Amino acid sequence: MKKEAIISLFIAITILLEPALAQCPCEGRTVILKAPAVSMTSTGELIGVPTEFVITVAPGSGHVYVETWPLTEVDMQASARLAAEVAGRVLGIDMSKYDVFIQVKADSPIIGGPSAGGTMTVGIIAALMGWKVRNDVMMTGMINPDGSIGPVGGILEKASAAHQAGARIFLIPEGQRIQVVTETQRKQIGPVTQITTTQRRVDVAKYAEERWGLKVIEVRDIYDAVYYFTGHELERPKPKGHIIISTSFLEKDAKKDYDETVQYYNTVSEKLKNSEVSYSTYSYLRAALDDAHNTLQNAKRAIDSGRYYTAMSLDFQARIVIRHVDWYIDVYEGRDLEDIFLEVKKEIDNVETYVSNLTIRGVTMLQAVAASETRIEDAKEYLKEAQASYYKQDYWDAVSNAAYAYERAKTAKLWAELGERYARGEVISREAIKRAARNQLDNARLIVTYVTSMLGQQNLQDLINTLNKGEQYYEDGKYSAALFSAMEARIRGEVILDTIGIDNVSVLKDKLNMMKEEAKTAIGLAEEGGTVPLLSMAYYEFAESYEAKGDLQDIITAMIFYQYAKETAMVFLGWKSSGESAKTTTISPPISQNSTEVTTTITVTKTETVSGTGTKICGPAIIVLIGGLAAIFRRH
Residue 121 sits in a domain of what CATH number?
3.30.230.10
Task: Give the model's confidence band at 113: pLDDT under 50 very low, under 70 low, under 90 confident, else very high.
Answer: low
Percent of the chain with pLDDT over 70: 82
From residue 600, how far is each of 91, 127, 604 by CA, in Å? 21, 12, 7
Pick the closest to residue 84 from 112, 117, 115 (CA basis): 117
Please state, in angstroms and rounded to a whole number, the distance separating the CA atoms of residues 151 and 491. 11
70 preceded by cis ω (within 30°)? yes
Q: Is 481 helix (H, G, I), strand (E, B) or coil?
A: helix
Residue pair 524/515 in contact (Cβ under 8 Å)? The answer is: no
Pairing verdict, β 46-59 and 28-40: antiparallel
Q: Which residue, 122, 140, 119, is CA-closest to 131? A: 122
329 and 359 fall within a common domain: no
Q: What is the mean pLDDT of residues 415-427?
A: 91
Cα separation of the two ends of the chain: 11
Q: What secondary structure, in 3-state letters, does 425-457 show?
A: CCECCHHHHHHHHHHHHHHHHHHHHHHHHHHCC
Domain end call among 389, 409, 428: 428
One domain, residues 299 and 182: no
Is the pLDDT at 341 greater than 90? The verdict is: yes
Q: What is the pLDDT of residue 22?
A: 41
Q: Are residues 315 and 395 in the same domain?
A: no
Query: What residues does 56 pair with on adjacent strands?
Result: 30, 101
* Residue 287 buriedness (CB in 10 A; 0-12 / 13-18 / 19+): exposed
Annotate 83-101 with b (16+ C-beta within 10 A) or e (fewer).
Answer: bbbbbbbbbbbebeebbbb
Q: Is residue 33 part of a domain?
A: yes
Residue 88 pLDDT > 90 = yes
Distance CA 83, CA 522 (A): 20
Please tell me the predicted confidence (pLDDT) of residue 616. Answer: 39
- pLDDT, position 446: 84
Residue 623's pLDDT is 40
pTM for the model stands at: 0.77
Question: Mind listing the pLDDT tens digit for each residue in 55-67?
Answer: 999 999 999 999 8
pLDDT value at 223 more than 90: yes
Same domain, 259 and 378: no
Identity of the highest mean pLDDT range in 261-265, 453-457, 583-587: 261-265
361 domain-assigned: yes
Query: Is residue 501 domain-resident?
Result: no
Catalytic annotation, pick one of 115, 313, 389, 400:
115
Residue 611: its pLDDT value, please? 30
Same domain flag for 157 and 180: yes
| The domain boundary residue, chosen from 379, 407, 428 | 428
Q: Please say if the pLDDT value at position 550 is more than 90.
A: no
Catalytic-residue membership of 400 = no
- Whether residue 595 is contained in a domain is answered as no
Q: Which of 39, 79, 148, 158 is catalytic?
A: 158
Confidence at residue 397, expressed as pLDDT on a 0 to 100 scale:
96
Q: What count of residues does the chain have?
A: 636
Distance CA 550, CA 553 (A): 8
pLDDT at 9: 53
Whether 156 and 301 map to the same domain: the answer is no
289 and 421 share one domain: no
Name, of 152-166, 276-290, 575-589, 604-618, the range with top average pLDDT: 276-290
Q: Which of 335, 364, 396 is the last residue of a domain?
A: 335
Domain match, 341 and 331 both: no
Q: In terms of domains, do 328 and 344 share one?
A: no
Pick the residue with more confidence: 113 or 522?
A: 522
Q: Are residues 345 and 330 in the same domain?
A: no
Q: Give the pLDDT mean for 254-272.
A: 97
Handedness of CA 264, 265, 266, 267 (dihedral sign): positive
Residues 324 and 293 in one domain: yes
Owning domain of residue 362: 337-428
**Mean pLDDT, residues 122-143:** 95
Q: Calculate the average pLDDT of the chain.
A: 84
Is 340's pLDDT higher than 50? yes
In a domain, 128, yes or no: yes
Indicate if the pLDDT at residue 504 is higher than 90: no
258 within some domain: yes
Q: Are strands 64-69 and 98-106 parallel, antiparallel or unpaired?
A: parallel
Let me know if 313 is a catalytic residue: no
Give strand pairing partners of 195.
Answer: 186
pLDDT band at 455 (very low <50, low <70, confident <90, very high): confident
The per-type count for the chain, helices as H runs and strands as E runs, is: 20, 12
DSSP string covering 616-632, please? B--HHHHHHHHHHHHHH
What pLDDT score does 154 carry? 85
